[in-house]
Amino acid sequence: MVVFREFFFWQSGGLPAKEDQMPRRRRSRKFRWPARIALAILAIPLLYILLAVIGGLIPVNPNWHEPDNGITIYVANNGVHADLVLPASHGGLDWRPLLPKSDARNVPAGAQWIAFGAGERRVYLETPTWRDLSLKTAAIALTGGERVMHVQWVRDPAYAARAIRLTPEQYRRLWASIRSEFQLSPQGKPMRIDHPGYGFGDAFYRGIGKANAVGTCNQWSADRLRVAGVRAPLWSPFVQGLVWRYRSAETKNLSS
């Protein structure tokens, strides 16, 4: 009976039919790889966003509280990027010899505040608007490009979204931290980049280090506040993870 069943199996074409199924199984496995690769590529930005949310919720300097009296600075927010806005001169710390108004064009009359930001060179210098952002520039910015400093003279810091009051010691630490981010000439002056700016009292200077997907412009601002001793997010590549911690610039209520 066993021999008969095997003979019948061969005669009925059973084995060739089984062999025909094997290539189809191999092809189906091959077709799974593009889907897996696509899922892996999709998972990278999702994981990045998830880590950004977590990092934005975890504080450094968690015991910091805004003092009742001190020096007020501002955090400007355009929905994508954050600048730190400091007085041009206060408490013996004077930006004017280092960053003269003559370095910028169209400085508003009576401007006594300076907004500081940092970012990747190509993004800052070659993309005045978001529609000018190319894939090549975006790739360099994400993987690591030269960091530059952006300085803008402003007359009224009230345009900024958030305000932070600092003690004199915290302000000195913040001031020194920002200054250390400029590349200095042999004369000890920030090195201005030959760029006309965007026409609103701004100028660009050479910065220290690299800007990338981890060390973004917003993380740069968060790091400066952390060095000053202010409560700040552990990691916040997006501006939303930074500014929510501080009080509105229009109110006098202290942040929690």
Q: What is the mean pLDDT of residues 34-38?
A: 71
Q: Which amino acid, one-letter code, is at 10? A: W
Indicate whether 19 pLDDT > 80: no
Indicate whether 27 pLDDT > 80: no
Q: What pLDDT score was predicted for residue 41? A: 72
Domain residue limits, the chain: 2-57, 59-248
Q: What is the mean pLDDT of residues 171-186?
A: 97
| d(C-alpha 156, C-alpha 115), whole Å | 11
At 242-252, the pLDDT tens digits run: 999 999 987 44
At 107-143, the pLDDT tens digits run: 999 999 999 999 998 888 887 666 666 777 777 777 7
Q: Which of 154, 136, 153 is nearest to 145 (CA)?
A: 136
| d(C-alpha 103, C-alpha 200), whole Å | 12
Q: What is the mean pLDDT of residues 142-168?
A: 90
| d(C-alpha 10, C-alpha 121), whole Å | 72
Q: What pLDDT score was predicted for residue 34? A: 73
Q: What pLDDT score was predicted for residue 194? A: 94
Q: Tell me the pTM.
A: 0.81
In degrees, to the nearest 5, what angle opens at C-alpha 96 toward C-alphas 90 and 101? Answer: 130
In degrees, to the nearest 5, what angle opens at C-alpha 78 toward C-alphas 96 and 138? Answer: 95
